Amino acid sequence: MKIPIFEEIPLSEMTAEKLRIIVSDSRIGKVPCYLNLTNLKKDEAEKLIVNLEQIILEHNLHPLFPYPLYIVSPYHFKSSIPTVRTVKDLPEHYFKKVKRPNNKELQLLNKLSLKVDKIKNLDLYKIINEFQDSTESQRRLYNETKELYFLETLHRKLIEKKK
Q: What is the distance between the terminal CA atoms of the chain, rounded to a whole angstrom?
A: 71
Q: Is 147 in the site for another protein (CB under 8 A)?
A: yes
The Cα–Cα gap between 33 and 13 comes to 18
Q: Considering only the stretches 14-22, 46-54, 73-81, 102-110, report the one whose residues sit in contact with another protein under the rule CB under 8 A.
A: 102-110
What distance lies between CA 46 and its chain's CA centroid? Answer: 18
| Contact (CB, 8 A) for 19 and 55 | yes
50 versus 127: smaller Cβ distance to another protein: 127
Return the H-helix or E-strand segment holding 83: strand 83-84
List residues binding another protein (CB under 8 A).
3-4, 65-66, 96-97, 99, 101, 104-105, 108-109, 111-112, 115-116, 118-119, 122, 124, 127, 130-131, 133-134, 137-138, 140-141, 144-145, 147-148, 151-152, 154-155, 158, 161-162
